[in-house]
Structure 1
Amino acid sequence: MSRSPRRATVLLLACVLLPPLTAASCSDEPSGVTVGSAGRGTVAEIVEASGAVTARAAATVGSPADGTLAALRVESGDRVRKGQVVAVVDSPAAEQRLDAATEALDATSGGSVPTGGGTAGFTAVRHRTDADATEAFTTARETAGKITDETLRKALLAQVTAAQKQYDAVSSAAAAAVDSLQRGVAGVSQAVNALTAAQRVQAQQAYDLAAAGVDALTLRAPVSGVVQLGGTASASAPSLTDLIDNADPSALAAPAQGPLPGVDAAVPVGAAVSAGTPILTVVDTGALGVTAEVDETDVLLVKPGGTGTVELDAATGATYPAKVRAADLLPTTSARGGVSYRVRLSLGKGTYADGSAAPTPRPGMSAIVRLRVRQAVDAVTVPAGAVVTSDGRDTVWAVRNGKAQRVAVTLGVQGEDAVQVVSGLTAGDRVVVAGADQVSAGQDLP
């Protein structure tokens, strides 16, 4: 039985030069059997895979608190720089926390901690100060957790952690002073000073954290790129993770919230927003890429630096050059149940057959990727249909002294139309190139 190509995704890139084949109509040749000769040529293996265009980075800017969208400084399609102010949220709750923190800070500058009721009063003040600090840290962490800009979120969380460590130190000192007072080994002034220091640190930190929460209401672009108002997609569309190259789910913004049918996804100025409501998305299209799902039978042939071409459904007739950057180590399961590996490629500027420039793709566009994985130049070649699998070995029917003889061959680079023969044949050897499944050993052949 004729041997099928090793993989359906392997294609012949370069033409193979073969001597003219013996006519199938030769009277001495069995019907359906064609005899030709091994030739020399260039064969390239092409691994074909489906994929999608990816952006270098993208981030959704969302509201860090409940309130209203006070200002929107950009429109859809605008280009922005990282750090540029894009919107402002008005949050009365955040402003009230800052006002309260300001009053508490002013109060601590008035002098020593007022205590009454002896040592029990000192203990009550210490517990109240600790409770205020815990509330401030908890509120600050909740506020930071709702910020969609990963860099800003991490910075605020780090600020909370550092503040808590500082407070824990002065709180421990205050607790030790009160304990010493209760045991009669320390004076009242020492306990007052320790508690006053703890209150001042707590008030200052509460103010700093509340001020940081208010500052976060001025929304800035987390990356440079193009603005898209609203969330990333409706609930039925692909997730942002699928559209971003090297996406880290922890780095993405708040989940996309799909609009109601017929309603614009953009949040209008003056509209109420909740913490995490997506205001806009910034997509960095400065360096587009492609992710391709390569079958497990092919992925070991794909190497970083390898080249290929990309075709898009959205740009019929255009070809885009691509270069392999990396192949994932962990697999994905395809919809058909097979195992594949994600290969990441950089994408160049495309052209049409006439040399004119192709349009710039958009993230998420469907792509067909063809990767050149191996090539043999000036190689001994035969048509792929000449190769027959027998007892687990690759063979061809050679014509020796007018008789069909099975010859074992070692194959190298394999294309869809032709394959390289590494051993077993030389250029010019006559072989059955079609109808090999109709030949038997010793059969007369011209």
Structure 2
Amino acid sequence: MSRTHSRGALVAGGTLVLLLLTAASCDDDDPGVRLGTATVGTVDEIVEAPGSVTARSAATVSAPAPGTIGELRVEPGARVTKGDVLAVIDSPELRQRRDAALKALDAIPSGGGASPGDFAQVRTTTDRKAAKAFDEALASIGKITDPVLREAFERQVSAAREQYQAASDAAAAAVRAVQRGVSSLGQAISSLSAAQRLQAQQAYDLADAAVDALTLTAPVAGVVQFGGPAPAAPAGLSALTGATTPSEGVDSSVFEGAYVTPGTPLLTVVDVRKLGLSAEVDETDVLLVKPGVKADVELDAATGASYPATVRSVDLLPTTSARGGVSYRVRLDLGAGELTDGGGAAPAPRPGMSAVIRLKVRQAADAVTVPASAVVSADGRDTVWAVQDGRYQAVPVRLGVQGEETVQVLSGVSAGQQIVVAGTDRVQPGGEVP
């Protein structure tokens, strides 16, 4: 990040300050000295930062299991709403697992089928089958990229595990009661049978849910693009939202019949209904940036256009800038732009486009201002050459908001006072003003 003014890299903006400049010179041999007048106006202090256009949200849909793309129902550039079916994966492995689970469920006898001698073995086998079903379900869930769907399946597995554990514990308690002679054999058989049937039903339900996950739906509304995240962009030009960046171009590997492995990114849905910006602000300037601060934005891809923006948030944790320094990510809402030559609306940006963001971090209205060129450093203090009693005199000043063209003077100079605005290096203390 840079501040473009030589005294602090700040840019003047806001109300145009009219400096009543008067051409003058110290003498006929020194025409380089120019006088002006301190006046009242508005000064904007600008922090300039690199950044990029971001989308409202973006999400990549990946293959949840090994298989082939059986159906591809969208084309690149298609607009979809949340929940629309994008593709269907054909996974023989998951379908075989569901068929096997259904067969095992149908094979459970209605009366249980366990005898007193094999109670312990039946319970151990049932527990092992349940654990295997839960592990397989969790492995399948781990490949689902839609966070909402993944969380729902995780809750389903967690609830099923707790339910089965309660049934298994009940069966074990019933068996112990029979062994102590305080319960009937029928109660133990019934409890063990219930645990067996519950385990088989849960194994089928989880396998069926995994098959359902092969139908890939849009997690957000937006525009479809084939493929997954793009390679990481340089610092300051990264990430659409802090979520997922869509890949560049069309992924030629996405087509019906293509073989996919678990986790293969297939499609990315980008919500561009509301665009934003991600700016990298240097640590030396970030304390000046607050939510609500306005900004002007220029895009490399839209020459001659200007876009308004407003700071939405400032990250607390730092990042490393492209130059190796510490910077903080600032997120902004981006408005509709206009062509600076008055030619009408500017073109709509695309996510990932690089931008220069000029943040108006401070403003002083109705302030005493002088040209930035009038302020010099003398003995380590900001100083202005003022005209007093017809002679030049160095006057220490205290500055406020500083701009590239003008700066605010808090003390030392008053509005209307005549000052040297150019050629300060030619002025001598006490020199007579021609």
Q: Does 1:210 align with 2:189?
A: no
In structure 2, the partner of 1:300 is: 287
Q: Which amino acid in structure 2 is aligned with residue 97 of structure 1? A: R
Shifted more, 430-439 versus 83-92: the winner is 430-439
In 2, Cα distance between equivalents of 1:238 and 1:265: 25
In 2, Cα distance between equivalents of 1:325 and 1:36: 41
In structure 2, the partner of 1:158 is: 155
**Aligned-residue identity in percent:** 60
In 2, Cα distance between equivalents of 1:392 and 1:225: 57
Alpha-carbon displacement from aligned partner over 1:110-142 (angstroms, at most 9, x marks no partner): 3223236x2xx1111111111000000000011
Q: Which amino acid in structure 2 is aligned with residue 203 of structure 1? A: A
Measured after TM superposition, the shift of residue 392 of structure 1 is 4.4
Measured after TM superposition, the shift of residue 151 of structure 1 is 0.8
In 2, Cα distance between equivalents of 1:332 and 1:390: 38
- Does the residue aligned with 2:387 lie in a helix, a strand or coil? strand
Measured after TM superposition, the shift of residue 67 of structure 1 is 0.7
Measured after TM superposition, the shift of residue 176 of structure 1 is 1.8
Kindly indicate whether the alpha-carbon contact (under 8 Å) linking 1:64 and 1:144 is maintained by their aligned counterparts in 2: yes
Relative distance call for 1:297 and 1:237 in structure 2 (3 A) is: closer
In structure 2, the partner of 1:190 is: 187
Measured after TM superposition, the shift of residue 405 of structure 1 is 2.4
Measured after TM superposition, the shift of residue 438 of structure 1 is 4.8
Relative distance call for 1:439 and 1:23 in structure 2 (3 A) is: closer
Shifted more, 179-188 versus 316-325: the winner is 179-188
Q: Does 1:175 align with 2:172?
A: yes
In 2, Cα distance between equivalents of 1:193 and 1:392: 93
In structure 1, the partner of 2:356 is: 368
Alpha-carbon displacement from aligned partner over 1:11-34 (angstroms, at most 9, x marks no partner): 44543211123334x516856443
Measured after TM superposition, the shift of residue 6 of structure 1 is 4.0
In 2, Cα distance between equivalents of 1:202 and 1:307: 60
Relative distance call for 1:48 and 1:11 in structure 2 (3 A) is: farther
* Correspondence list, 1:12-411, <5 A: 12-24=13-25, 26-27=26-27, 30=30, 32-115=32-115, 118=117, 121-233=118-230, 235=231, 242-245=238-241, 247-248=242-243, 264-352=251-339, 353-411=341-399
In 2, Cα distance between equivalents of 1:182 and 1:303: 72
- Does the residue aligned with 2:22 lie in a helix, a strand or coil? coil
In structure 1, the partner of 2:8 is: 7
Measured after TM superposition, the shift of residue 278 of structure 1 is 1.3
Q: Which amino acid in structure 2 is aligned with residue 20 of structure 1? A: L
Alpha-carbon displacement from aligned partner over 1:296-326 (angstroms, at most 9, x marks no partner): 2322222222222211111111111212211
Kindly indicate whether the alpha-carbon contact (under 8 Å) linking 1:112 and 1:192 is maintained by their aligned counterparts in 2: yes
Kindly indicate whether the alpha-carbon contact (under 8 Å) linking 1:43 and 1:377 is maintained by their aligned counterparts in 2: yes
In 1, Cα distance between equivalents of 2:226 and 2:197: 43
In 2, Cα distance between equivalents of 1:177 and 1:138: 27
In 1, Cα distance between equivalents of 2:272 and 2:112: 58
In 1, Cα distance between equivalents of 2:160 and 2:425: 80
Kindly indicate whether the alpha-carbon contact (under 8 Å) linking 2:10 and 2:45 is maintained by their aligned counterparts in 1: no
The CA RMSD measured in Å over matched residues stands at 2.5
Match of 2:410 among 404, 408, 422: 422
Alpha-carbon displacement from aligned partner over 1:329-369 (angstroms, at most 9, x marks no partner): 22222121222221111111122122322221110000111
- Stretches of 4+ moved more than 6 A in 1? 256-259
Kindly indicate whether the alpha-carbon contact (under 8 Å) linking 2:364 and 2:401 is maintained by their aligned counterparts in 1: yes
Relative distance call for 1:185 and 1:357 in structure 2 (3 A) is: same
Q: Which amino acid in structure 2 is aligned with residue 243 of structure 1? A: A
In 2, Cα distance between equivalents of 1:237 and 1:410: 43
Structure 1: stretches of 5+ with no match in the other structure: none
Alpha-carbon displacement from aligned partner over 1:162-193 (angstroms, at most 9, x marks no partner): 11111111111112222333444433222211
Shifted more, 38-47 versus 159-168: the winner is 38-47
Q: Which amino acid in structure 2 is aligned with residue 72 of structure 1? A: L
Measured after TM superposition, the shift of residue 148 of structure 1 is 1.0
Report the TM-score when normalising by structure 2.
0.91
Kindly indicate whether the alpha-carbon contact (under 8 Å) linking 1:29 and 1:445 is maintained by their aligned counterparts in 2: no
- Does the residue aligned with 1:275 lie in a helix, a strand or coil? coil
In 1, Cα distance between equivalents of 2:390 and 2:36: 13
Q: Which amino acid in structure 2 is aligned with residue 169 of structure 1? A: A
- For these two proteins, the number of residue pairs brought into alignment is 428
Q: Which amino acid in structure 2 is aligned with residue 157 of structure 1? A: E
Structure 2: stretches of 5+ with no match in the other structure: none
Relative distance call for 1:140 and 1:46 in structure 2 (3 A) is: same
Shifted more, 427-436 versus 188-197: the winner is 427-436
Alpha-carbon displacement from aligned partner over 1:15-60 (angstroms, at most 9, x marks no partner): 3211123334x51685644333212222222222111000011111
Alpha-carbon displacement from aligned partner over 1:276-304 (angstroms, at most 9, x marks no partner): 11111100001001111122232222222
Relative distance call for 1:9 and 1:340 in structure 2 (3 A) is: farther
Alpha-carbon displacement from aligned partner over 1:177-223 (angstroms, at most 9, x marks no partner): 22333444433222211111111111111111111001001110100
Q: Which amino acid in structure 1 is aligned with residue 259 of structure 2? A: A
